[in-house]
Chains A and B, each alone.
Chain A
Amino acid sequence: MTTVSEKLLTRSEEHGPPGSPDPRDRTLPLLSLRDVRIGDTGDGREIVHGVSFDLTPGKAVGIVGESGSGKTLTCRAALGILPARFEVTGGTVEIDGTDIASLTPARWTALRGSTIGAVFQDPASYLNPSLRIGRQIAEVLRVKKGLGRREARGRVLDLLRAVHLREPELVHDQYPFELSGGMLQRVLIAAAIAADPRILIADEATTALDVTVQAEILDLLADLREQAGLALVVVSHDLAVVAQLCDEVLVMRQGEVVEQGPARRVLDDPRHDYTRLLIREHEQYGLEKFLTPEEEA
């Protein structure tokens, strides 16, 4: 089986002799948020009241919360793409040791795609409807990696295979409208990892998908993390999605982190009422009601 890891690992080996020690320290955070606050410049209100976490290589941090809890704004702040009305009013974001406040637009452009990438909820709106899939992914490779046309095509097919799209040659020449939501999200993930980022932000990336397709995309994200060492920020309104993928969980409500800790601890011993509500919803109305511990094993 050709796995994502093989693809990604062969690529990273191109940068150094095989067998050389990993130059990247696995304990230094790739992404570090310190008391990040976000305000609305229109009325001066603070919307996000301090978010802190460290993300090291191969780790996954999850943010769970309703729409309006500030989870998406937090991600957008980390990507430097806050909507016009909003700005970071306090705290710091560091990507790979660099404070993003000091980044010039040119440095940002260099960082995006090659160090940090993202996928969002509605994949179709991030693709040009009138360009074939292959060309849109190839663009990332040609701009970020300086690949030629033919080389880029080969790499695009590798990427489409890596995200488990059956028939990559066919998908390469198709238009976005010809693909299902699950396929489009795979295409977006392929484009997001095309330039070998070390951090991937998945903001409600599976929310619009059917449950069985969601499971496939979550598997893919787990692969990228475990086998290629990609660090993940997973944002969802569903605590179960986040708990399944992440080591650490932040529960946000109305711009506030109401609970933060190791995923296991948050599930087994929730301390905030809101976290308890999220758990109660699953236990009373979800499958958990019928799944006894023996049956899960």
Chain B
Amino acid sequence: MTRTRPDAGTRPVLEVNGLEVHYGARRRRRRALYGVSLSVAPGETVGLIGETGSGKSTLARTVLGLVRPTAGSVVVDGEDVGAYGPRQWRDLRRRGVVQYVFQDPLRSLDPDLTVGASLTEPLLVRGVARDEALARVRAFLPRVRLPEELLGRLPGELSGGQRQRIAVARALVTEPRLVILDEPVSALDSANRVQVLEILKELRDTGVALVFISHDLGSVAGIADRVAVLYRGELVETGAARDVVSRPEHPYTRLLVGSAPTLRGASAGRAEREALRALLHA
């Protein structure tokens, strides 16, 4: 599986073009995504924001090969994966190019595997020798601020914050080019949320690109280089996090920014939010 990557440094790690995803057939047909185009550069952190039903999880699942696109293309690290079959996907996953972290680490970690086994597995699957894999895992643990003693434990014996840090370690130990994180800190308490966000911020220096999916702009704005806002299956606004937060353009983005509770009160007045809502429903 050798592949020359002459332009691997600058070529986007993820390129989604005109993506459409439909669910159901005939009269039950629903469009979950339409005309979505998004590009993620190496080492970039993109916040993908959308509320319930916006299609953000469908987008993540399409990029991970769990949902088949109806139209459009998905290019992961130079490979057009849109038409990949199960075997090709398995190969791609084994190479560890794309990894993911879900909201609930209890569901993404095998409850019967020790932490050590869970962490070495993705390396073993790639063909790394056991000793080497274990050495790499040990070397990685300090980056997620976990002690080596944890390697012999089961996920059920750990706290939620520790489990999520293990899920992060498991995703990053194969040195992927892209990690999709679906609400990675939503289930954690403040202390653990801050810690996981700090860890992810530091891990960006490995050159990995992160796509942070969240319903709450306020929880990812501070870590994202760029923010993409999904509304009813469409990408309505994309831009630098600072610009999107301080000068949102689309009415939905303005409503989203204006609705987020901040320590200094809501940033948009109530009348403004009502006007935006009327505009969106018109």
Residues in A lying within 8 Å of B, measured CB to CB: 66-67, 181, 210-215, 218-219, 237-241, 243-244, 267, 277-293, 295-296
Contacts and interface: CB of A to CB of B under 8 A. Distances in A.
Contacts of A210: 51-52, 215
15 contacts: A181-B52, A211-B51, A211-B259, A214-B259, A215-B273, A237-B189, A244-B265, A277-B191, A287-B218, A287-B221, A287-B260, A287-B262, A289-B222, A291-B262, A296-B262
Contacts of B273: 212, 215
A293 B246 CA distance: 11
A25 to B, nearest CB: 30
Contacts of A219: 270
Interface residues of B, number: 37
A278 B192 CA distance: 11
Interface string B209-253: 000000111111111000000000000000001100110000000
- Which of A67, A244, A280 has the largest count of B CB atoms less than 10 A from its CB? A244
Nearest to A243: B263
Contact of A295 (B246, B259, B263, B270): B246
B217 A211 contact: yes
Contact of B218 (A267, A286, A295): A286
> 5 tightest A-B contacts by CB?
A285-B222, A215-B259, A240-B261, A210-B51, A66-B189
A119 to B, nearest CB: 18
B27 interface: no
Contacts of B222: 284-287, 289
A290 B263 contact: no
Interface string B129-171: 0000000000000000000000000000000000000000000
B194 interface: yes
A291 B264 contact: yes
Nearest to A284: B222
Contacts of A295: 246, 267
- Which of B194, B241, B259 has the largest count of A CB atoms less than 10 A from its CB? B259
Contacts of A282: 218, 262-263
A67 B260 CA distance: 21
Contacts of A240: 218, 261-263
Interface of B: 51-52, 189-191, 193-194, 197, 215-223, 241-242, 245-246, 255-267, 270, 273, 277
A283 B197 CA distance: 13
A287 B259 contact: no
- Which of B190, B241, B266 has the largest count of A CB atoms less than 10 A from its CB? B190
B217 A291 contact: no
Contacts of A267: 263-264
Secondary structure at chain A's binding surface: helix, strand, loop or mixed? helix
Contacts of A215: 258-261, 266, 273
B263 A279 contact: yes
Given A67-B189, A214-B259, A285-B194, A290 B245 contact: yes
A244 B261 contact: yes
A158 to B, nearest CB: 21
Contacts of B193: 281, 285
A282 B194 CA distance: 10
A241 to B, nearest CB: 5
A241 B217 CA distance: 15
Given A212-B255, A267-B263, A287-B222, 5 more contacts: A219-B270, A285-B193, A285-B223, A286-B260, A296-B262
A288 B218 CA distance: 8
Contacts of B245: 287, 289-291
A295 to B, nearest CB: 6
A67 B17 CA distance: 41
A211 B260 contact: yes
Contacts of B191: 66, 277
Contacts of A287: 217-218, 221-222, 245, 257, 260, 262, 267
Contacts of A213: 51
Nearest to A218: B261
A211 B216 contact: yes
Nearest to B187: A67
Contact of A277 (B194, B216, B219): B194
A241 B190 contact: no
A227 to B, nearest CB: 13
Contact of A288 (B216, B255, B264): B264
Contacts of A281: 190, 193-194
Contact of B262 (A214, A218, A278, A286): A286
